[in-house]
Homo-oligomer: A and B are copies of this chain.
């Protein structure tokens, strides 16, 4: 605690800068002195004060991850992977959970100044950030899982995403191809512009329209990304008696809740109702029946998010935009509709 670089220098019988050179592996130091200093460092359990270090160098090595919705199991694995990757590169890593109502960019701007970060990864959250906001961010950053609006110049940010609309479109088309015409849709804020739920909703709607199926607003329910919320939303849907034969949930957590509602109602999956989720979390596979889902390549996306960020930091490349393909996993929770 109380031992600082000056103490180490004094005890080792060398100058301060020599100690500094040793612990930073910078500049020339004779092997003898180096060993001597290192021994003292070890003995006194000396750890450099990072505040002083950051204050001096102005350019820290801190990487921050701003997550909105840390309880989302799909994010959990990505977080783990991102942390692993950052640590692998020897950079300190800090996770910042962003409260659901707050603006993550504002929080980040603050954090950059406070901890002077050298890079940020954003995960989860909304899409409607203005270009001016982004420009206030003076360090490289990557939006993972967050598409931005068209108004923002792609040259000023990086992203690692899936095409939400396309994948939801794919999902809905799959259900339609199985003969379903009354397909329920469950997502968070499906009608609120620039949210993930909205993007997926637009994909859902586009598929319906292209296939000549009527869009019925009564088949769309707003819910949180959780089983309990999905359960309630699905129940509302079922109670409407709209001849529902399939439910497309914008997340696996919702899908699980919806499945429970269907099963609790005494209906069968997939004989009575088909269920299709989104994300590809482990739980969906171990649900019974296993749930079909649009599986995002989370680990790969985490990996390349860090990759893109470090490319940016080392100025090895400019801003990139990686779009991954999600995969439709068929496990049996969706079935060709029986004739009525």
A interface residue numbers (CB < 8 A to B): 1, 47-52, 54-55, 60, 70-71, 73, 76-77, 79-80, 83-84, 87, 92, 94-97, 99, 110, 112-116, 138, 226-228, 231, 256-257, 259-260, 263-264, 282-283, 285-288, 290
A94-B94, A257-B286, A282-B228 given; A50·B115 CB < 8 A: yes
Task: Establish whether residues B114 and A227, one from each chain, have CB atoms under 8 Å apart when the complex forms.
Answer: no
- Residues A114 and B49 in contact in the complex (CB < 8 Å), given A97-B79, A257-B286: yes
A-B CB contact pairs (8 Å), 27 listed: A1-B113, A47-B113, A47-B114, A48-B114, A49-B55, A51-B60, A51-B116, A55-B55, A70-B76, A71-B76, A73-B73, A83-B97, A84-B99, A87-B99, A94-B95, A95-B95, A95-B96, A95-B97, A227-B283, A227-B286, A228-B285, A228-B286, A256-B286, A256-B287, A257-B286, A260-B287, A264-B288
- Whether B76 lies near A76 (C-beta < 8 A) is yes
Bound-state Cα–Cα, A54 to B53, Å: 12
**Inter-subunit contact A112/B1 (CB<8 Å):** yes
Copies of this protein in the assembly total: 2
Contacts of A92 in B (CB 8 A): 114
Bound-state Cα–Cα, A95 to B283, Å? 25
Residues of B within 8 A of A264 (CB): 288
In the bound assembly, the distance between CA atoms of A50 and B110 in angstroms comes to: 11
- Complex: A283 Cα to B244 Cα, angstroms: 25
**A contact face: mostly helix, strand, loop, or mixed:** helix
Contact A283 to B283, CB < 8 A, known contacts A52-B55, A110-B47:
yes
Contact of A226 among B84, B113, B115, B282 (CB under 8 A): B282
Q: Which residues of B contact A257 (CB under 8 A)?
A: 286
Residues of chain B within 8 A of A50, CB atoms compared: 51, 114-115
Report which of B70, B97, B112, B263 forms a contact with A288, defined as CB distance below 8 A.
Answer: B263
